[in-house]
Structure 1
Amino acid sequence: MLNKDQNQDIGNGATAIQAGGSVTVVNVGVTSSEARQIALDVAKATFYELTGAAKETASVRVEEITDQVIKKLEKDFPAGLQKAKDPDFQYALYTVQKEYARNGDKDLGDLLVDLLVDRSKQDQRDILQIVLNESLATAPKLTDTHLAALAVIFLFKYTQNFGIGNHQMFGDYLDKHLLPFVSKLSKNHAGYQHLQFSGCGSIGLGGNSLEGILGTVYQGQFLKGFDQSEIANRAISVGVDARFFIPCLNDATKLQVNANSKENLEKLLDAQGVSSEDRAKILGLFDLGKMSEPEIKEKLIAIRPYMAEVFEIWTNSPMQTFTLTSVGMAIGHANIKRLIGEFASLAIWIN
């Protein structure tokens, strides 16, 4: 027989549960306020013993960056709040707090927060988690000039935007992803040597021109076109099919293949089930009338005049020969992401 007189004495912070049958207790995990308190406790338990005004300034900065981390997690990855109890994540968080407390640099703070949020998404000790931990320790060793170089090298050498369909879209893409960094770029060799010393990449002996890179990745933007008769002369059985041929972006009286790169074109041909004979012929047309590198450079400067400065720096600095490490990619990726918001997952490049 059940005893209906179920009085309980509970202590502070405890939860009393009474029921006449079975009880299921649901663990709601760590709340944002709890995660914030844990984060601040981490700083208090391990932070430098500063005095006077320095201690007060550091304390304000630690709270500021901690609030930023919590807000970013709530917005982008709420499940990451549960990492507040994980020792490795706490160490990564402490790195962010410590570095921001030292200098209070807003841009660096934003960058570190983005890296930390990405770090919170990793549930196991894999290469991406290790790279992000190392990136958190490396980024504070770099200036805005270094960070800008990593972002631009990453953008041009390691990414491709599949959504660019014409010159206006290309210009808008450059405005959003490149322009914020242009004024911070430098030709100073010592800067790239420091990036190499910091483990962000290496300076090679040979490199690729920027016009060569963009002319390959976005070849469809730099074609002179061909006459419609070329399709009949080459006996392409699909004919003037709008799936594969469009008016030339640089000469409306002619046609061009409807693709930005050979990689894009091959995927399109696969998806549409084009015969091997037509496939070879269309791929051949894609290379017909491609602009030379000087012409590509001229066209890009016409699209966005500030590209003249980018070309000059790229050509006369180690930028064109610089190869990024995984840490350099992670920092370059985060530096772009902090400015434009959404960006493809870092796992695409590091896995």
Structure 2
Amino acid sequence: MLNKNQDQTVASGGAAIQAAGDVTIVNTGISTAEARAIALDVAKATFYELSGLARDIASSRVEEITNRVIEKLEKENPSGLQKAKDPDFQYSLLTVQKEFARTGDTDLGDLLVDLLVDRSKQDQRTILQIVLNESLATAPKLTDGQLSALALIFLFRYTQNYQVGNHKLFGEYLDKHVFPHSARLPKSAASYQHLEFAGCGTALVGGPLEETLGKRYGGLFLKGFEKAELTSRGISVGLDSRFVIPCLTDPSKLQNNAMNRQTIEKQIEEKQLSADDGAKLLTLFDESKLNDIQVKEKVIQIRPFMKEVFDAWVNTPMQSFTLTSVGIAIGHANIKRFAREFTELEVWIN
């Protein structure tokens, strides 16, 4: 527990650390135990103003969240333990400790720990470091539903997974990244107004979710074409599996072996296809696409819980919400919190 008594017993070879006095670290690095001691000292003065049971509860929560920070640093970024000596990192750590001490919310604690570990990887005062610092202060102002909204807006508007090459893989992708948030999405306009107030984004111009999915994952939503089309249109690649595969929606037909138009354009360039063949392959792709209604129906068929997501998207400002850098950082962290792995944040903020 944290308390006013800062007397310490130091083992042979150890170094005493007092938050209220000068702190001296003799060696160039610090151990896990030393990092934990420094982290706890950071919070002590803050909780002197509390009294009785409130201070006991806050102290217990601070020790809990501090241990979680240290454990995650040891696992994901051991060199980040050295950040315990850095004033700016200490300030970010104090933010995490204070917010978790106030609420004791496990989900919020997990999110803040993930953000802080990402912050520990930044050695310079870059835009990413500044955004992560701001995200640590902003996330506690949001509800679980708002955090889930940021996660899915980030996922659908700012990312694309090229590894989901069939409906089975797409369904597994939705299970991992979307399902944990699907039942939490807020329905009220006030929730999104508050997200704007908190600096997470702005409602601008957007479109239906099925339109976005159809553009980014169009290869999963094709009605296909007959084999005779390749001959009648004079497409010389024929049944080359690099360009043509059995249709995912209707196995009796064929379809382009591509996720979207950009994939086909890349194939044309890399395989040095003629301009004529390239144009015809693109035309086949465009003519084979399911319409937005059919895309929505197919996605719900693959994973029924997506109906809730489609409903929330169309009936709230989600479909037109554009994220700020802080909104992206929080959305990214919340996706990663459930999926446990995701592309590094530097891809979007650099």
TM-score by length of 1: 0.90
**Equivalents in 1 of 2:309, 2:101: separation in Å?**
34
CA contact (8 A) 1:187 1:318 kept: no
Does residue 1:174 correspond to 2:174, yes or no? yes
Task: Please state how far the C-alpha of 1:14 moved relative to its aligned partner.
Answer: 7.5
- The residue number in structure 2 matching 1:81 is 81
Matches for 1:60-75 after TM superposition, within 5 Å: 60-75=60-75
Once the two structures are superposed, residues 268-294 of structure 1 have per-residue CA deviations (whole angstroms, 9 ceiling, x without a partner) of 333333333322222222212211111
What's 1:207 paired with? 206
Contact 1:167 1:221 in 2 (8 A): yes
Equivalent residue letter for 2:255? Q
Gaps of 5+ in 2: 1-10, 16-25
* 2:66–2:97 contact (8 Å) kept in structure 1: yes
Match of 1:97 in 2: 97
Task: Report SS of the residue matched to 1:288.
Answer: helix
User: Within 1, Cα distance between the matches of 2:90 and 2:146?
Assistant: 27
Greater shift, 65-74 or 263-272, is seen at 263-272
Contact 2:47 2:55 in 1 (8 A): no
Q: Report Cα offsets for 1:198-231 as digits up to 9, x if no partner.
A: 0000112x32101100010100111000112222
SS at match of 2:245: strand
Matched with 2:228 is 229
Q: CA deviation at 1:40?
A: 0.7
Contact 2:131 2:326 in 1 (8 A): yes
Query: Equivalent residue for 1:242?
Result: 241
Report the secondary structure of 2:242's partner residue: coil
Q: Is the 8 A contact 2:177 2:339 kept in 1?
A: yes
Q: 1:251-330 alignment to 2 at 5 Å? A: 251-330=250-329
Task: Indicate conservation of the 8 Å contact 1:43/1:62, yes or no.
Answer: yes
In structure 2, the residue matched to 1:18 is none
Distance 1:28 1:246 in 2: 59
Partner of 2:349: 350
> How far did 1:27 drift?
5.7
Give the distance between the partners of 1:166 and 1:100, measured in 2 at CA: 41
The separation in 1 between residues aligned to 2:156 and 2:322, in whole angstroms, is 11
1:128 aligned onto 2:128: yes
Q: Tell me if structure 1 keeps the 8 A contact 2:47–2:59.
A: no
**Structure 1 residue 84, shift from structure 2 partner:** 1.0
- The answer to whether the 8 Å contact 1:203/1:322 transfers is yes
2:305 corresponds to which letter in structure 1? Y
Alpha-carbon distance in 2 for matches of 1:105, 1:177: 21
- Give CA deviations for 1:147-183 in whole Å, capped at 9, x if unaligned: 0111111111111111101111111111111111111
Measure the CA separation in 2 of the matches of 1:144 and 1:263. 36
Q: Which residue of 1 aligns with 2:18?
A: none
Task: Describe how 1:99-178 pairs up with structure 2 within 5 A.
Answer: 99-178=99-178
* Distance across 1 between alignment mates of 2:224 and 2:14: 75
Q: Which residue identity is paired with 1:142?
A: L
- Alignment-mate amino acid for residue 301 of structure 1: I
Letter in 2 for 1:152: L
Aligned length: 330
1:345 maps to a residue whose letter is E
Give the aligned residue type for 2:129: Q
The Cα RMSD (Å) is 1.8
Matches within 5 A, 1:322-341: 322-341=321-340
1:80-102 CA-to-partner distances (Å, cap 9, x unmatched) read 11111111111100100010001
- Which amino acid is the alignment partner of residue 117 of structure 1? V
How far the C-alpha of 1:48 sits from its partner, in A, is: 5.2
Structure 2 CA distance for aligned equivalents of residues 266 and 124 of structure 1: 39
Q: 1:333 to 1:253 in 2, by over 3 A?
A: same
- Please say if residues 69 and 117 of structure 1, whose CA atoms lie closer than 8 Å, have aligned partners that are also in contact: yes
Deviation at 1:192, TM superposition (A): 0.3
What TM-score do the two structures reach when normalised by structure 2? 0.90
Shift of 1:304: 1.2
What is the SS of the residue equivalent to 1:202? strand
CA distance in 1, matches of 2:53, 2:272: 70
Equivalence for 2:22: none
Q: Please state whether the residue corresponding to 1:336 is helix, strand or coil.
A: helix
Distance in 2 (alpha carbons) for counterparts of 1:235 and 1:82: 65
CA contact (8 A) 2:145 2:186 kept: yes
